[in-house]
Amino acid sequence: MIVAQLLTATPRTFADGETLYGEAITTARLEIWKALSNGASAATVAIMDDNTIVYSEGFGMRNREESIGVDTSTQFNIGSISKVFTALGVLLLCDDGLVELDKPVTTYLPEFSMEDSRYKEITVRMLLNHSSG
């Protein structure tokens, strides 16, 4: 099992403007080591602030036979996690009032069609919870 995590930290800023990421880094490392001790074989973590990577580290082995470790440029298959990111993006659009979950998909994608005419009844919510048929 390969686990990949991306954590976003909210840094603490002190009076002198120094930003401290220590707590977030410690938490990230702890969570990764827990996952590794529970059977995960590899993971990476990145902590970002304002679109800048302030910390990144690879953990575990990408190839146990050849003792090749994971580093910050190791690529992982993301599997089904893309569904979560898609849903998050759609829900952010809902928060901004740009998408309504119970409107038909054709409201937003007029070119969407299927042979079965019931496609016009498929809502955004149905796609997100995989109940569109």
Confidence category of residue 16, pLDDT binned at 50, 70, 90: very low
- The answer to whether residue 131 is catalytic is no
Q: How many CA atoms lie within 13 A of 107 on its CB side?
A: 13
Report the pLDDT averaged over residues 66-89: 88
Q: What is the pTM of this model?
A: 0.51
Tell me, what's the pLDDT at 26?
87
What is the rounded distance in angstroms from the CA atom of residue 59 to the CA atom of residue 54?
17
- What pLDDT digit, counting tens, does each position of 24-63 carry? 888 889 999 999 999 988 998 888 888 888 889 999 999 9
Coarse DSSP helix, strand, coil percentages of the chain, rounded to the nearest 5 percent: 35, 25, 45
Residue tagged active-site, from 80, 82, 117, 131: 80
Longest distance between any two alpha carbons in the chain, whole Å:
64
